[in-house]
Amino acid sequence: MSKTAFVFPGQGSQSLGMLADLAAAHPLVQRTFAEASDALELDLWTLVQDGPEDELNRTDLTQPAMLTAGVAVWRVWQDQGGATPLWMAGHSLGEYTALVCAEALSFADAVKLVAERGRFMQDAVPTGEGAMAAILGLDDDTVRQVCAAAANGEVVDAVNFNAPGQVVIAGGAAAVERAVAAAREAGAKRAVTLPVSVPSHCELMRPASERLAERLASVQIAMPVTPVLHNVDAATAKDPDAIRDRLARQLHCPVRWVETVQNLAKNQIGTLIECGPGKVLSGLGKRIDRSLNSLPIVDSASLEKALQGAAND
C-alpha cells in the first residue's frame, strides 16, 4: 500500500469551468455530477461550468459543488487503478468529502446535507454582518492576542490554522476590521478581508452548529474504511456518534490544518494528493512539511502525475 493520504479542499477552491478537462477524458466526472443534480433537483454541472458565478459562490451551492467535485476526482482515481491511501482528511467542507470517499457517508446524503449546512450558516449571520480575513506573517499566539484586543465585546477569533504564518480570522464585520488593522500594526506581512458571505468556524456559527447537530442525528453514518482525521482535533473518531459530534462542532471551532498535516506526516505519509479542484491544500502542505510530496489533481495531466507519484511512494 502506498504511503499516501488524500486531502479534500473546502470553499474557496471553486471556479467556473472546474474539472472540464478531466470530464472530457473521463465521463465518470459528469455522471457523478448527474447523481448530485438528482439529489438536489438542480443542474449542478451546468452551474459549475457556466455559472452565473455569484450563484456558484453562494454557500448553499458552493458546498455541494465542491463536495461533488472531490468525489468525482476520487472516483476517477479509483477507476484508473490509483493506490489506496492510508489516510484521508478534508479542510472544513472537505471533511464531508473525505467521509464520503471513506464510505462513512452516502454521496446522496452528503450532497443534501452540505447544502443544508450552507443554509444554516447563512441564516446564522446575515450577509454583511460577518467577515473573515487572512493574516500572513504572524505566529498563532500573536494572531490570538490581536483578536482578543480587537474584540471589544464582539466576536473575532482565529479560526483556520492553515500553515505556519498563515491564519484566518472570523467574526463580526466591525471586529474583524479592527483586528485586520491591529494585525498590520503588529507587523503582519498581509492582512486582508476575504470575499466570503459567512464567518465560518467562529462562535457566531453556534446556532448553525446546533441546527446541524439536529440534522446529523437523522443521517446514516458508518465508520470510515479509511481513517479520516477531523478538523476539530486532528484525530480520528471512535464511532458514528463521535463523527456527528465533530461535524457539528466543526462549524464553530477552528480548523486545525497544520496539526492535521503534521499528524499525517507522523503516520509515515510521504505523499499528499489533493483531490481537486484547486491547489490550495498542496501549497499549504509544502509550507507545513517540506518532506511531503504534495500533488493536486485538477486535470488529466495532473492526474497522471499523481498516479505515478503515488505508485513510486
The answer to whether 182 touches 146, Cβ cutoff 8 Å, is yes
DSSP secondary structure letters along 162-209: EETTEEEEEEEHHHHHHHHHHHHHTT-SEEEE---SS-TTSGGGHHHH
CA–CA–CA angle 143, 183, 121 (5° rounding): 65
| Phi then psi dihedrals of residue 225, to 5 deg | -80, -25
Instruction: Report how far residue 22's alpha carbon sits from residue 72's, in angstroms, rounded to the nearest whole number.
Output: 10
> Residues with Cβ < 8 Å from 151, sequence gap 6 or more?
171, 175, 179
Instruction: Report how far residue 291's alpha carbon sits from residue 174's, in angstroms, rounded to the nearest whole number.
Output: 40
Question: What does the buried/exposed string (b/e) look like for 82-120 if buried means 16 or more CB atoms within 10 Å of the residue's CB?
Answer: bbebbbbbbbbbbbbbbbbbbebbbbebbbbbbbbbbbb
Of 13, 92, 294, 302, catalytic = 92
Of 26, 201, 230, 252, catalytic = 201
Instruction: Report how far residue 130's alpha carbon sits from residue 61's, in angstroms, rounded to the nearest whole number.
Output: 19
Q: Which three cell numbers stand for residue 42?
A: 438542480
Reply yes or no on whether 91 is catalytic: no
Instruction: Report how far residue 165's alpha carbon sits from residue 169's, in angstroms, rounded to the nearest whole number.
Output: 13
**Beta-carbon neighbour count of residue 193 at 10 Å?**
14
> Residues with Cβ < 8 Å from 224, sequence gap 6 or more?
88, 98, 99, 102, 103, 104
Asked whether the CA dihedral 188, 190, 193, 199 is positive or negative, the reply is negative
Q: Would you please indicate which residues are annotated as catalytic (active-site) residues?
A: 92, 201
